[in-house]
C-alpha cells in the first residue's frame, strides 16, 4: 500500500515592488490548499534580479503575509543564495548537449517535434507543441540563471508537489517542464493556474491604472480578516453560497477543483461591504481600538481617552465600511463642523428657522438624554405637520454640518447641552444673515 504524498506548495514572490492584490491572492490560495490538505507552504523569494530585488521589498512581502495572518513552514528560501545549484544544472545540460552558448549566454535546445503537456486543475489539459517554443536562455551573459532554471531546480530540490500561481505564468510552464525533464525528473507537479483578476471594465488589473497595492487597502482601513475573506472569493466560491465566514471554515471548504477559470472581477464595493460586516461584528471596545490609529492622527483626536472613544464608536459602527471613514464621521463631536453648502440649502428651507428656534428653547431645559431629546423634537415637528426625518434635518445640519451622519439624539447626548445650544444659535444667526 502506497503512502500518500504530503502536499508541499510554494509561494514564490519576486521582491521587485509593493505586494499587490494578485500576489496576496496567490499566497492565500497556496496557504488555503496547504492547510486544507494538512500540507506545507514554503516561502521562496525569487530575488535573482539584483537590480530590482531589495531588502525593503522583501520586508514588505513578509509584512503582507503577517498582516493577512498567513504563516509558512520553515525558513524562507532565497534564490539569490542558490546560484551553485543553478550553475550545476546549466553545466549538466551543456555536457549533455542539451544547451549551447550563444553570444555569451546559454540557451536550452528545445526538441523540434513532440508536445509538452500537463494537466491543470483549473484549466484541464494544456498542450504546447515543442516546435512553437524557441530555444530559450537559461543563463544570461552576466552569468545569472533565468527564471525558468530557478523554478525547475527549486521545485525539484524542495519537493514541491503543487504549483499554484497566476494565469499570466501559464506560458512559462512548458519551458520549466522541459528543464525539469532534462534534470532527470519523471514526474511533474500538480498545476493550478489561477484566473486573472480584472477591474469593472473587465481589463486585467494594472498598477498603472488601478489601485492594486495591498498597502493601500490596509491604510484605508480594510481589516485583514475581511481582505482574506474577499480574496478567497476571487476565483473560488463556497459550495453553500455563504461568502462571509470565518477563515477556519474557508480552510475546511476550500478545494482547488472549485476554482473557476473565468476572470475574477475585483469589486471595491463588495470588499467594503464585506469589511463593514466584519466591523459590525466587533464590540464597542474592539471597534474603538480598530479606529484608534485613524482618530489619533486627527488634531482633535490626539488625546481622546479610550472611554470616550468607545462611547463615540458605538454611534458609527453599524454604518462604517472603512476604518479611515471613522474620523470624518465623528469629528463634529470634538471640533466645529464644516457646513456642507448643499446640505445646508436643502435643510434650511422654511420652516427650518422656526424649528431651530423651538428646538433651542426646548433643549435648554429638557432632560439631557437621547430619548427625551428625540421625543421633544418629534413633538415640535408634529406641530408643523412634519415627520421626524424632516423636522430633524435642520437640527442635524446645524449640529453636524451634514444631512447624513450618526444617530442624532445619541450624538446630542454625547455632545452636551452647551455645545448643542451654541451650534443651534450659530445656525440661526447664519439664517438671518
Q: Which residues are catalytic?
A: 207
> Would the CA dihedral through 423, 429, 431, 433 be positive or negative?
negative
Cα(81)–Cα(104) distance, rounded to whole angstroms? 23
Strand order in the sheet with 115-120: 77-78, 40-45, 8-11, 162-166, 190-194, 115-120, 124-129
Cα(49)–Cα(139) distance, rounded to whole angstroms? 13
Q: Answer yes or no: are the C-beta atoms of 67 and 224 closer than 8 Å.
A: yes
Cα(118)–Cα(167) distance, rounded to whole angstroms? 14
- Cα distances from 311 to residues 47, 63, 204, 327, in angstroms, run 49, 32, 44, 14
Neighbours of 333 (CB within 10 A): 22
Strand ranges (DSSP E) for 121-189? 124-129, 137-139, 162-166
Amino acid at each position: 500500500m502506497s503512502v500518500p504524498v504530503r502536499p508541499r506548495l510554494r509561494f514564490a514572490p519576486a521582491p521587485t515592488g509593493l505586494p499587490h492584490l494578485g500576489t496576496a491572492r496567490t499566497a492565500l490560495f497556496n496557504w488555503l490548499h496547504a492547510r486544507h490538505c494538512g500540507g506545507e507552504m514554503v516561502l521562496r523569494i525569487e530575488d535573482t534580479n539584483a537590480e530590482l530585488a531589495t531588502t525593503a521589498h522583501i520586508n514588505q512581502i513578509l509584512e503582507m503575509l503577517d498582516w493577512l495572518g498567513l504563516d509558512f513552514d520553515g525558513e524562507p528560501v532565497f534564490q539569490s543564495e542558490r546560484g551553485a545549484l543553478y550553475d550545476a544544472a546549466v553545466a549538466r545540460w551543456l555536457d549533455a548537449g542539451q544547451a549551447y552558448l550563444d553570444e555569451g549566454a546559454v540557451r536550452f535546445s528545445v526538441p523540434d517535434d513532440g508536445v509538452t503537456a500537463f494537466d491543470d486543475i483549473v484549466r484541464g489539459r494544456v498542450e504546447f507543441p515543442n516546435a512553437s517554443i524557441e530555444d530559450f536562455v537559461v543563463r544570461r551573459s552576466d552569468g545569472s540563471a533565468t527564471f525558468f532554471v530557478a523554478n525547475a531546480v527549486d521545485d525539484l530540490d524542495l519537493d514541491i508537489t503543487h504549483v499554484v500561481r497566476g494565469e499570466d505564468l501559464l506560458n512559462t510552464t512548458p519551458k520549466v517542464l522541459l528543464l525539469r525533464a532534462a534534470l532527470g525528473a519523471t514526474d511533474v507537479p500538480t498545476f493550478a493556474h489561477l484566473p486573472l483578476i480584472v477591474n469593472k471594465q473587465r481589463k486585467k488589473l494594472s498598477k498603472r491604472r488601478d489601485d492594486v497595492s495591498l498597502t493601500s487597502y490596509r491604510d484605508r482601513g480594510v481589516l485583514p480578516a475581511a481582505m482574506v475573506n474577499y480574496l478567497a472569493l476571487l476565483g473560488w466560491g463556497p459550495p453553500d453560497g455563504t461568502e462571509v465566514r470565518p477563515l477556519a471554515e474557508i480552510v475546511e471548504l476550500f478545494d482547488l477543483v472549485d476554482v473557476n477559470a473565468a476572470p475574477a472581477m475585483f469589486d471595491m464595493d463588495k470588499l467594503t461591504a464585506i469589511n463593514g460586516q466584519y466591523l459590525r461584528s466587533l464590540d464597542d471596545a474592539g471597534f474603538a481600538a480598530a479606529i484608534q490609529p485613524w482618530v489619533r492622527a486627527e488634531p482633535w483626536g490626539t488625546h481622546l481617552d479610550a472611554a470616550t472613544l468607545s462611547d463615540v464608536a458605538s454611534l458609527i459602527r453599524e454604518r462604517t465600511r472603512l476604518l479611515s471613514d471613522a474620523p470624518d464621521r465623528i469629528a463634529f463631536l470634538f471640533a466645529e463642523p464644516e457646513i456642507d453648502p448643499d446640505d445646508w440649502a436643502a435643510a434650511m428651507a422654511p420652516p427650518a428657522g422656526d424649528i431651530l428656534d423651538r428646538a433651542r428653547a426646548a433643549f435648554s431645559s429638557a432632560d439631557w438624554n437621547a430619548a427625551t431629546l428625540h421625543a421633544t423634537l418629534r413633538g415640535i415637528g408634529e406641530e408643523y405637520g412634519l415627520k421626524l426625518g424632516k423636522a430633524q434635518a435642520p437640527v442635524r445640519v446645524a449640529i453636524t454640518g451634514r444631512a447624513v451622519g450618526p444617530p442624532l439624539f445619541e450624538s446630542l447626548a454625547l455632545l452636551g447641552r452647551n455645545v448643542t445650544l451654541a451650534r443651534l444659535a450659530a445656525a440661526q444667526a447664519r439664517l438671518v444673515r
